[in-house]
Amino acid sequence: MADLTFVRTQMLPPQEAPGAAVGAVRWMRENLFDSWLNSVLTLVSGFAVVWIVVHIYPWFAQSVWNASSLQECRAIIQERFGEGAHGACFAVLRERWQQYLFGFYPADLYWRPTLAFFLMLAALAPVLFSGLPRRMLWFSAAYPGLAYWLLWGGSIFTPIAIYAGFVVAVLAHRAVAGRWGGLAAMIVAVAALLIWWFYLAGPVARTLAAPGFFSLRPVQSNQFGGFTLSLVIGVTGIAFSLPLGILLALGRRSDMFFVKTICVGFIEFIRGVPLITLLLVASFLLNIFLPPGTNFDIILRVIIMVTLFASAYMAETIRGGLAALPRGQYEAADALGLDYWKSMRLIIMPQALKISIPGIVNNFIGLFKDTTLVAIIALLDPLGLTTAIRADSNWNGIIWELYGFVALIFFLFCYSMSQYSQYLERKLATDHR
Amino acid sequence: MTSVEMPGEPFRLSQLIYDTRYRSLTIQAVAVILFMLAAAWLVNNTIQNLAALGKDFNFGFLGSRAGYDINQALIPYTNDSTHGRAALVGILNTLLVALLGCIFATIIGVFFGILRLSKNWLVARIAAVYVEGFRNVPVLLWIFAIMAIMTEIAPAPSAFRGENATASMLFGDSVAITNRGLYMPWPVWGPGWQIVVGTFLASLAAIVLFGRYARRRQEETGEILPTFWIKLGLFLLPTLLVDFALGGPITLEFPTLERFNFVGGGFVDKALIALTLALSLYTGAFIAENVRAGILAISRGQTEAAAALGLRPNRIMSLVVLPQALRVIIPPLISQYLNLTKNSSLAIAVGYMDVRATLGGITMNQTGRELECMLLLMGFYLVISLLISSVMNWYNASVALKER
C-alpha cells in the first residue's frame, strides 16, 4: 500500500486578495456600503450632490464677465446659450471689485492700502511662525504706526510721536527703578507715558510736521470701505483684545475684591448685550458720555467698541485656560520666589494661553465675522456695499454673484485662521500621548 | 485692618506699598478711586451734554402715542398704542424668533453633528461642508442672502393662478411659499375645542405618570415595559378619539387664492422666515460641532465596558453614552442659545420688528431719547442673558459629578 501521508515542505505562495477586498472597491465597501442603511444614505446623498452640481454647473459655465448691467448680461446669455438659459453675471464683480476691496478710497492712492496689507502679512509672519528670525518682531511692533500712516495719510511724525511715548516711559522707568524700586518706577513710567501722550505728543508732532517732510495726502475715514474697512476693524480689534482680555481674566481671578468685582461686572455686562447695541451706543450715544465738544472718528469709535466686546469674550476663554492649570503650577511659581507678574509671565500664562488657543482663535474668527455688523450703522463694509449695489438700477436683482463673492472671501480668511490654530495646537502639544 | 498689625512694630507709610499684607488694600483703594472718578466724569459729562441739548432724563415717553405700525404683533397693537406697548410687541417678537430659532437650530445641529460622525465617508463630508461653510461666513450675510432669495426668487401670489401657473403649492395644495411670506393651514377653534385640548393635556400628564410607573416597576422587578409604543399611543389616541366623538371641533383652514393674494389659513411674514432660517442654520453649524465634540469626549472604554456587561447597542447609547455626552454638550448648547438670542437683534436687516427695531429703532428716532431707549434695550438683553446663564449654572450644578 502506498504511503498516502503527505507533508508539505515549502510554503505556498500567498494568494492575491479577492478583488472585493483591495483598492477602490474595498474602500467603497468599507466606507460607503458597509450596511444597508449606509448604502441608502450614500445613494441619497450622492444623488443630492449630483443634482446640485448639475444645476449649478451651467450657472458657472454660462457666465458673463463683460457687461454694464444685469439686463445686458441676461441678453448676452440668451443670445449665446439659447432661450431660457441661466448664467452668472460676474460682470458686476468686474465692475465693482475695486470698490469691494477699497470702498471709496481715492483711486490714485490704492497702492497705500495694498502696501499696508502686504506689510501686514510681513509683520504677522514672525508672530505666527516661530522659525523666522526674532529680530523681525521689531518690524511687527512698528507696523501699527506705519499702517496708520499709510491708510490715513498725514505726517509720519504723528505715529512717531505716539511711539516716542514708549521711549519716554522706558527712560522714566530706568531713571526711577534704581532709586525707589519696581512699583514706584512702574507708576512713574505710566504717568510719564500719559503726560507725554496728552500734553506733549501733539505739539511735538505738529512742530516736526510743519516743514511737510514725509507727508502723505490725508484720507478721511468716511472714504474707507469694503474689505479694507473689515480688515482695519478686525485686525485692530484682534491685536488689542488679546492683551485686554488677559488683563481682565487676571482681574477676574484676583483675590482683591474690588478689582474682581469691577472685572466681573464689565465682562458680564459686555457678554450680556448684543454687539449691535454697543455699536448703536458708539454711533448715537458716545458723544453724550464724553466732554462737550469732543467728536471723534466713527471708525475709531467702532474699533473701540468691537475691541471691548471681543476682550470680554477673550477674558472668559483665558479664564478657562487659567482654571484648567493644576494648582501645583501656581504653588511651584510661588515656591521659586517669583513675584506675581513674573510668575504669570514665565509660568502661568504660557501654559494657560496654550490650553486656550482653540478658544482664542474662535474668538478672533467671531470678531472678524462681527465686523460686518457695521453695515447696520451705515458704514460701507462688504455687506453694506452689496446692499448699495443691489439697490443700483443697473444691478437690481443680482444676488448670488455678490453674496457668494463676499462669503468666499470671509470663508478664506476664517478657514485659514482655524487651520492655523490647528497647526499651532499640534506644534505646541508637549504632552506625550 | 488693625488686627493684622504686628505687635511692637510701628506702622510706617511705606508699608502700604512694600508690605504684601497692605499692598492689596492700597491697590484696591486706588482701583476704586479711579473707577469712581471715571464714573463721576462720565455722569458729569452726560449731565452737561443733556443740559446743553435741552433734554431731561425720564421714561415718560413710554406712555405717549407711538404712531407707527408694526407689521407683525403677537398682542393687539395699533399705531394709537403707546411706545411702551410697541416695546412690548418688540420684546415678544424677539422672544418668538429666538424660540423658533433655538428649536430649529437644535434639530439641525443634532442631525448634522451625528451625520458628521457617520462612518459613511460621503455623508460625513457633506456634514463637514455644511458646518465649515456656515461657521466661517458672517451670520448677517446669511440673513441678507436668505431674505434676497425670499424676495426675488420666491414666486409672487399671482404666479399660482391660471392653467399654466409657474408655481404650485406644496403638500397637496396646503402650503404656499410666496415672495410675501408663507401661507399655511391654521386651526379653527370650533365649539368644544376646550375639551379636546383638555384631553390632550391630560394625556400628556398620563405619559409622564406612566413613565414614572414603568421606571419604578423596572427597578423593583427588572421587567422592561414597551414604553415607547405605549407613550406614542397615549399621545395620539385619546385626543383623536375625543376629537372624532365631538365631530371635529378643531378643523384646519386652508389658504386659498383670491383675487390678489392668498386668503385664510395662517400667514408667516417673509422677514420672520428669513431671520429664523438664517439664525438656525448658522447656529446649527455651531451646535453640530458641540454635539460631535460631546459624543467624541466619551472614551471608548465606556462603550466597551457597557458592551462587556451585555447591553445592546441602542441601550449602550441611551444608558451609557448619551447621559455622559449630554453633560458635555448642554453648557455650550445653552451658550449657543444665548448667542442666537443676541444675534436676533440683527432683525433690522430684514425689517423684522423686534425689540431692537421698535424700542431701539423707531421709538428712539421719534422721541430722540437715545439714552433711555438704549438703557432699556441693554437692560432687556442683560436680563435675558442673566436668566439663561442662571439656568445653565443650575443645570451644571445638577449634573456635576458627585465626588465622594
Q: Using DSSP, state whether B14 is helix, strand or coil.
A: coil
pLDDT for A139: 86
- A301 and A241 inside one domain: yes
pLDDT band at B1 (very low <50, low <70, confident <90, very high): very low
pLDDT for B257: 73
Instruction: Tell me whether residue A237 is exposed, middle or buried, using C-beta atoms within 10 angstroms of its C-beta: 0 to 12, 13 to 18, 19 or more.
Output: buried
Contact A269/B42, CB-based, under 8 Å? no
**Best A27, A29, A45 residue to mutate vs chain B (most B CBs within 10 Å):** A45
- A264 and A372 inside one domain: yes
Contact A284/B374, CB-based, under 8 Å? yes
The set of residues, in sequence order, having a beta carbon less than 8 Å from that of B89 and lying 6+ positions away, is B70, B73, B74, B75, B77, B353, B358
- A59 and A89 inside one domain: yes
pLDDT band at A315 (very low <50, low <70, confident <90, very high): very high
pLDDT for B268: 80
H-type helices in A8-64, by residue range?
23-31, 36-61
pLDDT for B164: 63
The set of residues, in sequence order, having a beta carbon less than 8 Å from that of B339 and lying 6+ positions away, is B283, B286
- B275 and B154 inside one domain: yes
**B52 contact residues in A (CB cutoff 8 A):** 292
- A224 and A200 inside one domain: no
List residues bridging with B82 in a β-sheet. Answer: B65
Q: Is residue A38 part of a domain?
A: yes
A377: distance to nearest CA of chain B, Å? 11
CATH number, residue A272: 1.10.3720.10
Q: Is residue B98 part of a domain?
A: yes
Contact A403/B378, CB-based, under 8 Å? no
Mean pLDDT score, B357-371: 85
pLDDT for A265: 92
Q: Is the pLDDT of residue B15 over 90?
A: no
Tell me the three cell numbers of residue B13: 507709610
Mean pLDDT of chain A: 85
Between B250 and B331, name the one with better pLDDT: B331
Alpha-carbon distances, residue B165 vs A285, B139, B169, B255 (angstroms): 53, 35, 10, 17
pLDDT for B280: 94
Tally of structural domains, chain A:
3
- A172 and A223 inside one domain: no
Mean pLDDT score, B15-42: 84
Q: What is the pLDDT of residues B41-72, one digit of tens each?
A: 988 888 888 888 878 777 888 888 878 888 77
Q: What is the pLDDT of residues A359-375, one digit of tens each?
A: 888 889 999 999 999 88
- A269 and A372 inside one domain: yes
Mean pLDDT score, B319-331: 85
pLDDT for B306: 92
A-B C-beta contacts closer than 8 Å? 156
Q: Is the pLDDT of residue A418 over 60?
A: yes
Q: Using DSSP, state whether B10 is helix, strand or coil.
A: coil
Question: Is residue A347 a contact partner of residue A356, using CB atoms and an 8 Å limit?
Answer: no
A400-409 contacts: CB < 8 A, separation 24 or more? A400/A59, A400/A88, A401/A88, A401/A89, A401/A90, A401/A92, A401/A93, A402/A92, A402/A93, A403/B141, A403/B144, A403/B145, A403/B148, A405/A93, A405/A100, A406/A100, A406/A382, A406/B141, A407/B137, A407/B141, A407/B145, A409/A227, A409/A382
Q: Is the pLDDT of residue B272 over 80?
A: yes
Q: Is the pLDDT of residue B161 over 80?
A: no
Q: Is residue A12 part of a domain?
A: no
Q: Is the pLDDT of residue B402 over 70?
A: no
Q: Is residue A11 part of a domain?
A: no
pLDDT for B24: 81
Least confident range from A249-253, B232-236, B333-337: namely B232-236
**Best B19, B28, B36, B279 residue to mutate vs chain A (most A CBs within 10 Å):** B28
Which of A42, A272, A376 is the closest to B348 by Cβ?
Answer: A376
Which residues, numbered 17 to 56 in chain B, qualify as contacts with chain A under a Cβ-Cβ cut-off of 8 Å?
Answer: 17-18, 24, 27-28, 31-32, 35, 42, 45-46, 48-50, 52
Structure ipTM: 0.85
Instruction: Note down the domain range covering B24.
Output: 14-48
Distance CA A398, CA B148 (A): 9
Contact A407/B356, CB-based, under 8 Å? no
Contact A45/B123, CB-based, under 8 Å? yes
Q: Is residue B311 part of a domain?
A: yes
Contact A256/B48, CB-based, under 8 Å? no
pLDDT band at B381 (very low <50, low <70, confident <90, very high): very high
pLDDT for A99: 87
**pLDDT more than 70, % of chain B:** 91
Mean pLDDT score, B94-120: 90
Q: What is the pLDDT of residues A100-127, one digit of tens each?
A: 888 888 888 888 989 999 998 888 888 8
Contact A406/B386, CB-based, under 8 Å? no
For residue B186, give the H/E element and its range: strand B186-189
pLDDT band at A406 (very low <50, low <70, confident <90, very high): very high
Q: Is the pLDDT of residue B182 over 50?
A: yes
pLDDT band at A314 (very low <50, low <70, confident <90, very high): very high
CATH number, residue B368: 1.10.3720.10
- Closest chain A residue by Cα to residue B43: A289
Q: Is residue A48 part of a domain?
A: yes
- A186 and A88 inside one domain: no
pLDDT for B20: 73
pLDDT for A431: 63
Which of B42, B122, B133 is the closest to A32 by Cβ?
Answer: B122
Between B217 and A291, name the one with better pLDDT: B217
- A270 and A184 inside one domain: no
Instruction: Note down the domain range covering A68.
Output: 28-93
Mean pLDDT score, B288-304: 88
For residue B201, give the H/E element and its range: helix B193-221
Mean pLDDT score, A84-94: 83
**B343 contact residues in A (CB cutoff 8 A):** 274
Q: Is residue B3 part of a domain?
A: no
Contact A292/B35, CB-based, under 8 Å? no
For residue A163, give the H/E element and its range: helix A157-180
pLDDT band at A129 (very low <50, low <70, confident <90, very high): confident
Work out the angle at residue A197's Cα, subtended by the Cα atoms of residues A192 and A203, and round it to the nearest 5 degrees. 120
Between A170 and A183, name the one with better pLDDT: A170
Tally of structural domains, chain B:
2
pLDDT band at B242 (very low <50, low <70, confident <90, very high): confident
- B326 and B391 inside one domain: yes
Tell me the three cell numbers of residue B399: 449634573
Q: What is the pLDDT of residues A271-313, one digit of tens each?
A: 989 999 999 888 888 878 887 777 778 888 889 999 999 999 9
**B149 contact residues in A (CB cutoff 8 A):** 399
CB of B386 within 8 Å of a chain A CB? The answer is yes
